[in-house]
């Protein structure tokens, strides 16, 4: 098991990313039941659900089964950041536009 104890005072176990991903892969691709994997690797169910949420690819479906695409959690994080940046840019543009229109109307 790729377990490393990082010297936590409370004795919590830490696992490297490759181990977490391999567990998620085992759950998703091999269809192993979560409770069985949890017992096999001495893990809490809650941690497995957190890992699945973090490391499992999201399947984007469309009307055709051939157009299905997956997007990784990393790609989702990048998209979320881009959305935040775009919203901030729109806010600045709206503010500038409002000031410009106010100045034009004051003439």
Can you tell me the distance from the alpha carbon of 59 to that of 68, in angstroms, rounded to the nearest whole number?
A: 7
pLDDT tens profile 75-86 = 888 888 999 999
Q: Which residues pair with 14 in a beta bridge?
A: 4
Is residue 70 predicted with pLDDT exceeding 90? no
pLDDT tens profile 6-23 = 444 466 788 999 999 899
CA-atom Rg of the chain in angstroms: 23
Per-domain residue ranges for the chain? 1-56, 66-107
In the numeric block, which tokens belong to residue 69?
């695409």
pLDDT tens profile 16-66 = 999 998 999 888 888 888 999 999 999 999 999 999 888 887 766 665 555
Identify each DSSP E strand in the chain by its residue range: 3-4, 14-15, 58-60, 69-71
State the Cα angle at 34 between 33 and 37, rounded to 5°: 90
- pTM metric for this prediction: 0.49
Q: Which residues contact 56 (CB under 8 A, 6 or more apart)?
A: 24, 28, 73
Which DSSP symbol is given to 57?
Answer: P
């Amino acid at each position: 098991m790729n377990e490393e104890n990082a010297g936590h005072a409370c004795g919590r176990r830490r696992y490297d990313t490759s181990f977490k991903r391999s567990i998620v892969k085992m759950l998703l691709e091999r269809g192993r039941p979560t409770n069985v994997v949890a017992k096999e690797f001495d893990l809490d169910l809650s941690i497995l659900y957190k890992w699945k949420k973090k490391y499992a690819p999201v399947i984007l479906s469309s009307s055709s089964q051939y157009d299905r695409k997956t997007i990784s959690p990393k790609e989702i994080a990048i998209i979320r950041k881009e959305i935040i940046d775009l919203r901030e840019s729109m806010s600045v543009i709206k503010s500038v536009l409002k000031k410009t229109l106010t100045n034009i109307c004051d003439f």
